[in-house]
Structure 1
Amino acid sequence: MVAYDVIFCIKSDTESDENICTNGQWDCADFDCPGTCSVEGGSHIRTYDNQLYRFNGECSYVLSKVCRQSLFTVHGELRSCNQNDGETCLVEIVLVLHNTQTTQVLSIKPNGEVNDNSQIAELPYHTSNFTVFQPTTFYIIVQTTIGLQLTVQLVPIMQVYIHLDTSYMGRTCGLCGNYNNIQKDDYRTGNGMIARLPTTFANTWQSRKNCKPVPNLFIDPCTHSIQNEPFASFFCSKLQDQTEIFSACHSKVDVLNFYENCLFDACVCKNQQDCMCAALSSYVRACNEKGIHLDGWRTNLCDSYKNACPESMEYQYLIETCQPTCKSLSVPDPSCIVNFTAIDGCVCKAGTYMKNPDECVEIDACPCYNMGSPVNPGDKVNKNEVTCTCIKGRLICEAREKYRIDCKPPMTYFNCSVEPEGSIGVECLRSCQTLNVDCYSIECISGCVCPGDLLADGTGSCVPSNKCTCIYNDKIYQHLETATIGCSLCTCKNRKWDCEKGEMLGVCTVYGEGNYITFDSRQYRYSGQCEYTLVQVLCELSTYLQDHLSISKSITYCNIFAKQYFGNETPFRAGRHFTDHANH
């Protein structure tokens, strides 16, 4: 028997010998372990620091959150169930993700329904914050981008496993504790005090303030349910029996707590079979985490669940990757790169693909997906002026000859329909203008691309990366071509403008009836009834202002001009534009 105040963390079999028992005490190696918290059987809670307690809640509770930062909160709702005294069930898991702009709320119910901000989400479901998928009919997994993973068990009853990255050590609070490798302070209440009893502690973490506190009562259900006790004793004893399949894991995972939970649940539950099998599956999961896989454990114990698989599916004991889905044939499936503890359940038979949560089909019957919308097998859609047909879960698009001819050498035609899954087409074309811009491809788009390391120059051709074109006022300039930009003469040098620092002549423009563009590119319109000077050099401001105001007293905005003559010619020279806001 292992005391509750001992922390076990074994990274792998090769490191297991670092934890040594000497004179009745463990001498443990010091390294951080990813945190795992669980709610099993509707009342058994194991904290990140391996503290186990029982709590029959009647509310929604904060299971885990980051204490001093609004980053995430995991809520779990516990309720009395099956009209059975003393029996509580986990009836909903809610994950709330916070960021500076929005709050995203993901909820999961025992029937497998998933909602994102109250909208039903069809699995697999992907957002910028998380991926939700169902590797088997028994489990739903939520993988976030912030080091948090939820494994929600649906069959035979709802249970949840919360996995946290080590970066959250010492930063969490809630029913799962504070994840600091110290068990004695796990019962820290919402106001920071450490409670003596788990019920007192748990009541302070109610998510809804209209709930009543749960009284601190403990009754052994097996002593009060004489009719349930024989069933519980017979089947739960399989966990401890050295001749049973579970004994292969006894050296890695202490069975005592799982046996006691099994007895409690099998005695208190109305559906004894469900609760007993859930308790056994909890031990099997703990063994899977240690690398011990107990294939065949359901035989003569919990066969009914594996025999209840949909007709197009089959039961498997060991699933460690995503399922092949029809949707994954059209678009990459992010869930397939998620690592998770081995689980069991119903999956598609070999060579078939999941079309719906409980239906698998041959590849010929798979629909395609175009911008998220399904396309039935054989149906045609138009994508970028190209006709595409849904064949074996992929949209096969016609490579029209005119598109190939239109590609200006050395550009070549890239046909997405004949390229490997996940290929990137012209939607992320490497060009002089987008060389340093990140691109995210939602779907592959066929078109003309540059071969090798050449870049598109913006004119329908390709150039080496060291001779890139530049752009100014929506016009493309070739490498070493010049342009006047503002008051400078600039040369295009590999995507960047190199401008001379010397001064250039300014330009003032008069056109049409009273349209002006100043030397500083300011544009305005003025229709005067007099002769005005366009340009003046070193004018006496006070003299011209007074002279002009005496003529134009009714004008609020006045342009001050002077005139200078050279011989018989009257050219205009440098000048200024004035605005007068004085009261006239």
Structure 2
Amino acid sequence: MIVTLCADSVSLPYDHTYQHIFNYGIYTRLRSSLLPLSVTWRSVPGGIDAVQVELEQKLSTDTSGLCGKHTVTEDQQQLITESVIPEDACRTRDPVSKENEECRTFLSYTLDCLQAQTPRYIQLCEENIYRYEGSEYIGCAFFKEIVRLCGKERFIWHHWRSLTKCDEGQAFLPSCSNPNPTPSNQELISSCVCPEVCVKVGNGDAQRTSAPLDVSSKANHALVFWQSSMYVQVHTSFGMNFQVQMSPEIQVYVSATRNHTGLLSGLCGNNNDDTTDDFTTSSGIIENSAQSFSRSWSVGPCGVDIPSSCSNTDAEMYADDKCSVLNNPTGIFAECHGHIPTDHYHTACVQRTCNCGRSVTQCLCAALGSYAKACAALGVVVGDWRKATNCTVTCQKNLEFSYNVQTCNHTCRSLTGADPRCGPDGAPVEGCGCPEGTNLNNGQSCTPKAECPCYHHDGAAAPGPVIIDGRKW
């Protein structure tokens, strides 16, 4: 982000001897080292929709105006009356309004707080929003101030985001390089956040982490990162590794090191080099049926298994026709037939596809992809099977599809220091990534190395010269 300071444009975060300017959620904050105050504002199209000034306690006795006076403690109306600015000193507009359903609905949930003043605040809300009904900024700024006024003990404090669809997140977002940027009691403030991914690590405790494609996340016992647009890799400190396929459907591949031989149990077998007892149930009985075996290890409510028969004859004929590409002796998958039999994969493909419902193509491609991935894990390249089966993947922005996406040292962030993704070994994955000679930036697009931002500590600077402590670097 770029801001103007004394007629000069500077990039954030900006550090100077006397002031520090940085991003604060969707806001910008200036903190002064000369005066014990900070100013937070939000820039929106057309101007600024909110400004907040915070003072340290030792200055509170010297303040006046709308920031408060030490002689006025609880009577807010008295404070407003004593702090009125002359009409000729500021620009105002005529108080025009019309009935606004959003204002009235929101304020109906604040009756326990505003009580008899509710009609007055409805009028203020309608005057503020009038002619700005299509703006996502004006309404949220007003609603947030009402919530602050009511306080944490009121109903509206916990529910106003869902009622108004105004977003909220932490002021300093956890990043993979700095997962705990501020104390746990940090203020919640509007921001854009990454979707969460829940990962079980170590003693089985669920830890939530989130990260865009260009960063990695390191928890107490696990390193989590995107291998491509389709796969998330999880490497643990205790030798269990997970590869999670996120699209077109979620599938999980688990691997363990040799030092776990005979120590494992569950859906992945016991890793004792004896395939005859892999279907050992949670009660210690060896099953012949995969369904009975898998159900014995279910945790909590599990969905119904994929039916063993198709929902109707037409669906079965369609699925069998499309899945038969796996068995074609001269087809795209023929190269792998001598390494991995197709019978199990063909049966699973038919069952999965014919019972899929609306997303038939998605289920078909996921089933064919399972066989292609198993072949790739053995080093067998089956060729461009996605093009041959109409399962092509569309990449966002300027990313390109590949069957062997490389993550090590392929992001802008990796140019600043050691890339943790270079250490773990993993099976090749397909998906969208950056072509050779470019790096993935935090905007999730590929850029030449010279155009990557520079990362330092908990911030980033745009490419080109920066100003630190008043000096240009």
In structure 1, which of residues 92, 105, 109 is the aligned counterpart of residue 206 of structure 2? 105
1:312 aligned partner, one-letter code: N
Change in CA separation of 1:153 and 1:295 when aligned onto 2, cut-off 3 Å = same
C-alpha separation in 1, matches of 2:378 and 2:216: 28
User: Is 2:473 aligned against 1:372?
Assistant: no
Structure 1 contact 326–354 (Cα < 8 Å) conserved? yes
C-alpha separation in 2, matches of 1:207 and 1:201: 13
Structure 1 contact 317–345 (Cα < 8 Å) conserved? yes
What's 2:224 paired with?
132
What's 2:350 paired with?
263
Structure 2 contact 409–419 (Cα < 8 Å) conserved? no
Structure 1 contact 137–358 (Cα < 8 Å) conserved? no
1:179 aligned partner, one-letter code: N
Please identify, of 291-300 and 177-186, the stretch whose mean Cα deviation from structure 2 is larger.
177-186
What's 1:405 paired with?
none
What's 1:295 paired with?
383
C-alpha separation in 1, matches of 2:235 and 2:297: 24
What's 1:243 paired with?
330
**1:292 Cα shift?**
0.9
Structure 2 contact 225–233 (Cα < 8 Å) conserved? yes
1:3-32 Cα offsets, whole Å, 9 max, x none, are xxxxxxxxxxxxxxxxxxxxxxxxxxxxxx
Alignment of 1:73-112 (within 5 A): 94-98=199-203, 105-106=206-207
1:492-511 Cα offsets, whole Å, 9 max, x none, are xxxxxxxxxxxxxxxxxxxx
User: Is 2:439 aligned against 1:353?
Assistant: yes
**1:140 Cα shift?**
1.1
Alignment of 1:43-82 (within 5 A): none
What's 2:138 paired with?
none
Determine what percentage of the aligned residue pairs are the same residue: 29
What's 1:330 paired with?
416
**1:266 Cα shift?**
1.0
User: Is 2:260 aligned against 1:161?
Assistant: no
Q: Aligned-pair RMSD on alpha carbons?
A: 2.9
Change in CA separation of 1:350 and 1:197 when aligned onto 2, cut-off 3 Å = closer
1:96 aligned partner, one-letter code: V
TM-score of the aligned structures, taking structure 1 as reference length: 0.43
**1:240 Cα shift?**
0.6
C-alpha separation in 2, matches of 1:95 and 1:370: 30
Change in CA separation of 1:388 and 1:260 when aligned onto 2, cut-off 3 Å = farther
Change in CA separation of 1:291 and 1:357 when aligned onto 2, cut-off 3 Å = farther
List runs of 5+ in structure 1 lacking aligned partners.
1-90, 107-114, 390-584
In structure 2, which of residues 314, 317, 327 is the aligned counterpart of residue 227 of structure 1? 314
What's 1:48 paired with?
none
What's 1:11 paired with?
none
User: How many residue pairs get matched?
Assistant: 275
In structure 2, which of residues 345, 358, 370 is the aligned counterpart of residue 282 of structure 1? 370
C-alpha separation in 2, matches of 1:235 and 1:299: 14
Give the 3-state SS of the residue equivalent to 1:221 in structure 2.
Answer: coil
| Structure with greater contact order relative to length (CA < 8 Å, sep ≥ 6) | 2
C-alpha separation in 2, matches of 1:316 and 1:154: 16
C-alpha separation in 1, matches of 2:375 and 2:312: 30
What's 1:273 paired with?
361
In structure 2, which of residues 324, 331, 340 is the aligned counterpart of residue 253 of structure 1? 340
What's 2:235 paired with?
143
C-alpha separation in 2, matches of 1:387 and 1:163: 51
**1:194 Cα shift?**
4.0
**1:343 Cα shift?**
1.6
**1:341 Cα shift?**
1.2
Give the 3-state SS of the residue equivalent to 2:254 in structure 1.
Answer: strand
TM-score of the aligned structures, taking structure 2 as reference length: 0.53
List runs of 5+ in structure 2 lacking aligned partners.
1-195
Rg larger in structure: 1
Structure 1 contact 320–340 (Cα < 8 Å) conserved? no
C-alpha separation in 2, matches of 1:326 and 1:218: 43
Change in CA separation of 1:150 and 1:302 when aligned onto 2, cut-off 3 Å = farther
C-alpha separation in 1, matches of 2:198 and 2:255: 14
Change in CA separation of 1:225 and 1:317 when aligned onto 2, cut-off 3 Å = same
